[in-house]
Amino acid sequence: MPDLTFFPDPNVDRVLGVVLELAAEVYTLRDRLHTVEALLERGGALARSDLEAYAPGEQERAQRLAERDALIARILAPMTAESDSPSPPFEPV
């Protein structure tokens, strides 16, 4: 099947493809997480109220925030990095 083109700049289509792939992955991960939570709750290993009430300590929170910031930096790196070969100027059709 040939690549579909929706925007005049093919790079926009590529970025859209990446975003849609990431969205599909996030959905899959959320679905699996809900399944794990339901199984843990059903088996008595976890109460939903304990999960909702959980608050990480200072060290865990700092680690989570650092991991979040690193993830965001990796995701945005292609858009914020200096490029040796700039893309050609966009020319509307």
- Cβ 11 vs Cβ 83: under 8 Å: no
Q: Is the per-residue pLDDT at 5 higher than 90?
A: no
Average pLDDT over residues 24-44: 96
Q: E-strand spans in 26-89?
A: none
Q: Please tell me whether the overall predicted TM-score, pTM, comes out greater than 0.75 for this model.
A: no
88 — pLDDT class (breaks 50, 70, 90): low
* Count of positions (residues) in the chain: 93
What's the mean pLDDT when you consider all of the chain? 86
For 76, phi and psi rounded to 5 degrees?
-85, -10
pLDDT for 13 equals 85
pLDDT for 82 equals 65
Average pLDDT over residues 78-85: 65
Q: Is the per-residue pLDDT at 51 higher than 60?
A: yes
Q: Rounded to whole angstroms, how far apart are CA atoms 9 and 92?
A: 8
- Cβ 3 vs Cβ 12: under 8 Å: no
